[in-house]
Structure 1
Amino acid sequence: MDFRTLAASQDALAGISADALLLVVAGDKLPAGFDKTLAALAADAVKLGDFDFKGGRALTLHRPAGVKATRLVLAAAGKGSLKAARAALNAALGQLKGRGAAHAAVAFVGFDAGIEALAEQAVQATAESVYVYRHTKPSAPAAGALSKLSLVASKDEAKAAKAGLARGEAISAGIELARECANRPGNCATPTFLAEQVKALGKDHGIKVEVLDQKAVEKLGMGSFLAVAKGSDEPLRFIVARYEGAAKAVAPVVLVGKGITFDSGGISLKPGAEMDEMKFDMGGAASVLGTLRAVAELKPKLNLVVVIAACENMPSGRAVKPGDVVTSMSGQTIEILNTDAEGRLILCDALTYVERFKPAVVVDVATLTGACVIALGGVRSGMYASDDELAAALSAAGDAALDPCWRLPLDEDYDEGLKSNFADMANVGSRAGGSITAAKFLQRYASKYRWGHLDIAGTAWKGGAAKGATGRPVGLLTHFVLSQAK
């Protein structure tokens, strides 16, 4: 996809040459001084009852008189928030699906949001509209004709528009990589496959990559991670990637991703219904991999370490059993009451491992608990943070990326649910507050640095007819990492 800016004033948009001119309008009318030809066409459409300025409305006019573009698409954004702009653009792009428009020009009218943020969302909306998964489905329909998007900007807006396009392209590439990895079935997207994807990214962008096998993990004493992997014939992989954009002395940002490439629940076997969706249980790993790609393309002046603990959780004669006690890399012992609470068991060893980097901040990302889905649904990711400043930074990053999260508590009282008579802690508490007790479990391994946790069980994928990975929270994570550059 070719993304670029197009210099034009809003009183001369009718002269833009394109297969489609997408006019995304905030408010209840076009502003004074707007292109007279387009204003007349919009007014006529409103008068005929074909269009109004209520958010979400879109209308296509074919070969309109006086307009150089072959199609004019009117799209209303209502009050004009950034979220509304994205929704209106989605509606406008939907008008082009299945049609022959190869080049679309987009003009935003009447928005308070800056052109940089609008440009970023324009790229992401377009990239999403043309994405088609086809790795195991070669019969999938073609992505469509759209291959070029021009963002209309004034000369004063050009620099900001180009910055927004660049960030949008990088995030979109990261989202697509995350979706491609997560959408592949478990017999394709194995721990070894994830390691290969990181190696390929490292080769393309000069990123240092280290992949640890079982012997190396055993040597490190990652007894908790090893316990989860025991039941599978697929070999585990512990993947470490380092982007170095600042001096070595600069403490890195560290992202840790849960990479359970298929989760059967282990001996605590899940119900059969919708178990196929457990191929998405590596959504945390996919998202930190996608973020690494976005950061590598944007080249900010910071250091970033990405760590992925990858394995399957399967039942077998070797599998860990409810009631077993394992020793984590930290030396703390864990009574495994439920083998389906495995994500925290692999993450805890990863959180201990990253102490060696003396990080500025660590954020782990995991499709961790069904309890978070019940609490927040598929709109916001659950967010936990060790301090208010970090919580505010993660929240602001989510808002800027239209990839929102919501802070949940870490009160000490929730620790009571993890008490065990036979180990330092149990791996689960009661059903009540399940996402919180999972976060409290992880917090015990993250006391030596600033720490955040994103529970993306509700946001990493969609089920039903729209089943597929979303690529979230690549947008949030990329904005957060960029905000940490000094």
Structure 2
Amino acid sequence: MNFEIQKRSLSRVIQDDFDALIILWPGALVPDASAQDPVSRMVAMAVQNGDFELKAGAVLSLYGQPGVQVRHLVVACTAENKAVQIRSAMQGAWAAMKAAKIKRIGLHVPADTMPQVLQWALVGLCEASYSYTTTVSQPAVRSFKQVVVSVDKLQASQTSAVAHTQALVAGMEVAKEWANRPANHSTPTQLAQVAKTIASGRAFKCEVLGPKEVAKLGMGSFMAVARGSAEPLRFIVMRYNGAAASQAPVVLIGKGITFDTGGISMKPAAEMDEMKFDMSGAASVLGVFKALAQLQPAINVVGLIPATENMPDGLSVKPGDVVTSMSGQTIEILNTDAEGRLVLCDALTYAERFKPQAVIDIATLTGACVIALGAVRTGLFSSDDALAHQLFEAGETAGDPCWRMPLDEDYAEALKSRFADVANVGGRAAGSVTAAKFLQRFAKRFAWAHLDIAGTAWRSGAAKGATGRPVALLLQYLLAQAGQAQPVTKSAKKSVGKPQGRAAPRKVL
């Protein structure tokens, strides 16, 4: 996808040769019936006659209008210019024009449009027009390849936002692609191959460890999950070196369970197909690295992906088995369907060798987080107040929100075991919190955050598919650390919900 931005007035843009033009219309912008351009006059007439309401998602679709060169013209109301309203506007706009043959799209915005609004609009358009194609014999391929943004008074921050968004969309679509793929087209070996392709540039390195190397490292917890699968595990280490070697990196750890049957603690058959999305954390790390390759920010980033299937077999780990993690801590596996934390804990220990400034793990970890936060906000757990606040702000600015959950020490009581240092589950109560408390045991030597994306990584039902979240949140956070991010929105400046203590079928455990 190619994005451009130009300084052009609305009266000039409507005379261009676009196949389609989308005009963002804020709810506060009162249309002028005496305006020089015909579009403003038509909008004023439509509002006056009650045919176009100034509310989020409302669209006015025009075709072949006198005085307008553009074939398809859609005015989309963005109401108060909030992220969800922008997304609704772009969905409505695309729905009004998707049946047409469109190769080149224009997007006109008011002169005072904030950079974030440009990002949300472009991402919204690409989300609305996205379709999965890899394993479809006659795919519905997106018809357009270029979007030209126009604004009456161009600002440098808007130009930067468009360049940022082009990389962001590329990253999100990599994340969607690999999360959407069926498990037989997204094996640990294939994830390793695409990681090598993405991390092939000058500033990148990629190392892939197999079963022998992982065994030598003592990753007994990770290996326990992989025992039942015929697909060999892969531990993928991606590195982006955009800053001086002396600068401590940010480490991103993506859960890479390429298919999750639950193991011996088998999941119900209904909707088990959606467990191909259980590697959405890994897919988001791949997406972030794709965006880094385009933006080349001055920061060092490490991506770790422990990739395996979780399958039932005669060799599978059993409920009640005790394994030894890379850290030396022993774990009683009470439920084999709580496997994500078992692969992540060894990756957290491995991350220590990079002496990181921060470590963020991303995982479709618990159904309990879906119950708590639904599909709106990602669950954020952190032992570091500053890191938690930075991630919260990044999510608000990127339109990819999260919410901080508690980490009170009292929750760790549920994980006590008579037969090992810790149990891998603590019961149904506060399941997302006890899962995070389990991970926290392995993350005491660095600033750490855990993003539970079980509710936000994909949609079910008729619109089933990966969302590409939280690539936008992570990229915004990384660019902020590199000093190249967009400014924080007013809404992002409000304080994070701070619970007591230090820290402010989908999966059942």
Q: TM-score range by the shorter chain?
A: over 0.9
Matching residue's letter, 2:96: Q
Aligned length: 482
Matched, 1:184 2:184: no
SS of residue matched to 1:140: coil
In structure 1, the residue matched to 2:488 is none
Q: Is the 8 A contact 2:7 2:154 kept in 1?
A: no
In structure 2, the residue matched to 1:234 is 231
1:83-232 aligned at under 5 Å gives the runs 83-109=84-110, 113-114=113-114, 116-143=115-142, 145-157=143-155, 159-204=156-201, 206-232=203-229
TM-score for both structures, normalised by structure 1? 0.96
Q: Is the 8 A contact 1:13 1:35 kept in 2?
A: no
Matched, 1:323 2:320: yes
Relative to structure 1, the CA distance from residue 302 to residue 170 in structure 2 (aligned partners, 3 Å threshold; closer, same or farther) is: same
Post-superposition Cα deviations, 1:308-343, rounded to whole Å, max 9, x if no partner, equal: 000011111100000000000000000000000000
C-alpha distance in 1 between matches for 2:224 and 2:345: 12
In structure 2, the residue matched to 1:350 is 347
C-alpha distance in 2 between matches for 1:205 and 1:192: 23
Relative to structure 1, the CA distance from residue 155 to residue 419 in structure 2 (aligned partners, 3 Å threshold; closer, same or farther) is: same
Q: Is the 8 A contact 2:199 2:289 kept in 1?
A: no
1:266-281 aligned at under 5 Å gives the runs 266-281=263-278
TM-superposed deviation, 1:41: 1.0
C-alpha distance in 2 between matches for 1:139 and 1:304: 38
C-alpha distance in 1 between matches for 2:43 and 2:173: 35
SS of residue matched to 1:319: coil
TM-superposed deviation, 1:94: 2.1
C-alpha distance in 2 between matches for 1:45 and 1:163: 35
C-alpha distance in 2 between matches for 1:275 and 1:62: 45
Matching residue's letter, 2:8: A
TM-superposed deviation, 1:454: 0.2
In structure 2, the residue matched to 1:30 is 30
Post-superposition Cα deviations, 1:21-55, rounded to whole Å, max 9, x if no partner, equal: 21111124436696542221112222343212122
C-alpha distance in 1 between matches for 2:247 and 2:439: 25
C-alpha distance in 2 between matches for 1:82 and 1:271: 36
TM-superposed deviation, 1:239: 0.4
> Gaps (5+ residues) in structure 2?
484-509
SS of residue matched to 1:15: coil
SS of residue matched to 1:291: helix
C-alpha distance in 1 between matches for 2:417 and 2:293: 43
TM-superposed deviation, 1:10: 4.5
TM-score for both structures, normalised by structure 2? 0.91
Q: Is the 8 A contact 2:248 2:355 kept in 1?
A: yes
Relative to structure 1, the CA distance from residue 119 to residue 204 in structure 2 (aligned partners, 3 Å threshold; closer, same or farther) is: same
C-alpha distance in 1 between matches for 2:211 and 2:470: 29
In structure 2, the residue matched to 1:59 is 60
TM-superposed deviation, 1:129: 3.0
Matching residue's letter, 1:44: M
Matched, 1:3 2:7: no
Post-superposition Cα deviations, 1:203-223, rounded to whole Å, max 9, x if no partner, equal: 246410000011100100001
TM-superposed deviation, 1:2: 2.8
Relative to structure 1, the CA distance from residue 47 to residue 205 in structure 2 (aligned partners, 3 Å threshold; closer, same or farther) is: farther
Q: Is the 8 A contact 1:257 1:364 kept in 2?
A: yes
Q: Is the 8 A contact 1:10 1:34 kept in 2?
A: no
C-alpha distance in 2 between matches for 1:11 and 1:139: 40
TM-superposed deviation, 1:13: 4.5
Q: Percent identity?
A: 53
In structure 1, the residue matched to 2:438 is 441
In structure 1, the residue matched to 2:74 is 73
SS of residue matched to 2:200: helix
> Gaps (5+ residues) in structure 1?
none
C-alpha distance in 1 between matches for 2:247 and 2:335: 40
SS of residue matched to 1:46: helix
TM-superposed deviation, 1:484: 1.3
Matching residue's letter, 1:151: V
C-alpha distance in 2 between matches for 1:294 and 1:205: 15
Post-superposition Cα deviations, 1:75-134, rounded to whole Å, max 9, x if no partner, equal: 1112233432332123212211011232221112376x51x2233223322322332211
Matching residue's letter, 1:133: Y
Matching residue's letter, 2:147: L
Q: Is the 8 A contact 2:176 2:466 kept in 1?
A: yes
C-alpha distance in 2 between matches for 1:370 and 1:99: 40
